[in-house]
Structure 1
Amino acid sequence: MAIHHLQTPLDDAAVLQLQVGDEVYLSGVIYMARDAAHKRFVDTLSAAQALPVDLRGQVVFYGGPGPAKPGHAIGVVAPTSAYRMDPYATVLFDYGVRGAIGKGPRGPAIRSACQLNRAVCFSAIGGVSATLFACIRSAEVIAYEDLKTEAVQRLVIENFPLLVTNDAHGRDMYAEEVEKYRALLKKA
Structure 2
Amino acid sequence: MSKVELFFPLENEDSLKNLKANQFVYISGQIYTARDQAHYRMIKLLEQNEKLPIELKGNLIYYCGPTPPKDDGLFGSAGPTTSSRMDDAFLYLVKYGLKATLGKGERKKEVIEACRNYCAVYFVTFGGLGAYLAKKILYQEIVAFEDLGAEAIYKLKVDKFPAIVAIDCQGKSIF
Shorter-chain TM-score tier: over 0.9
Indicate if the aligned counterparts of 2:64 and 2:80 stay in contact, CA closer than 8 A: yes
Show the counterpart of 1:21: 22
User: What is the 5 A alignment of 1:118-133?
Assistant: 118-133=119-134
Q: Which has the higher helix share?
A: 1
Show the counterpart of 1:89: 90
Indicate if the aligned counterparts of 1:24 and 1:162 stay in contact, CA closer than 8 A: yes
Show the counterpart of 1:31: 32
Establish whether residue 112 from structure 1 lines up as the match of residue 116 from structure 2. Answer: no
Report runs of 4+ in structure 1 exceeding 6 Å deviation. Answer: none
Indicate if the aligned counterparts of 1:93 and 1:113 stay in contact, CA closer than 8 A: yes
Aligned counterparts of 2:86 and 2:33: Cα–Cα separation in 1 = 12
* RMSD between aligned residues: 1.0
Residue deviations 1:118-143 (CA, integer Å, cap 9, x gap): 10000011011122111000110000
TM-score by length of 1: 0.90
User: What is the 5 A alignment of 1:131-170?
Assistant: 131-170=132-171
Aligned counterparts of 2:139 and 2:74: Cα–Cα separation in 1 = 5
Show the counterpart of 2:6: 6
TM-score by length of 2: 0.96
Shift of 1:73: 1.9
Q: Matched residue pairs, number?
A: 174
Show the counterpart of 1:171: 172
* Larger-Rg structure: 1
Aligned counterparts of 2:2 and 2:129: Cα–Cα separation in 1 = 21
Shift of 1:76: 0.8
Shift of 1:75: 2.4
Q: What is the aligned-residue identity percentage?
A: 36
Residue deviations 1:69-108 (CA, integer Å, cap 9, x gap): 1124222111000000001001111110110001000000
- Give the gaps of 5 or more residues in structure 2: none
One-letter amino acid of the counterpart of residue 167, structure 1: D
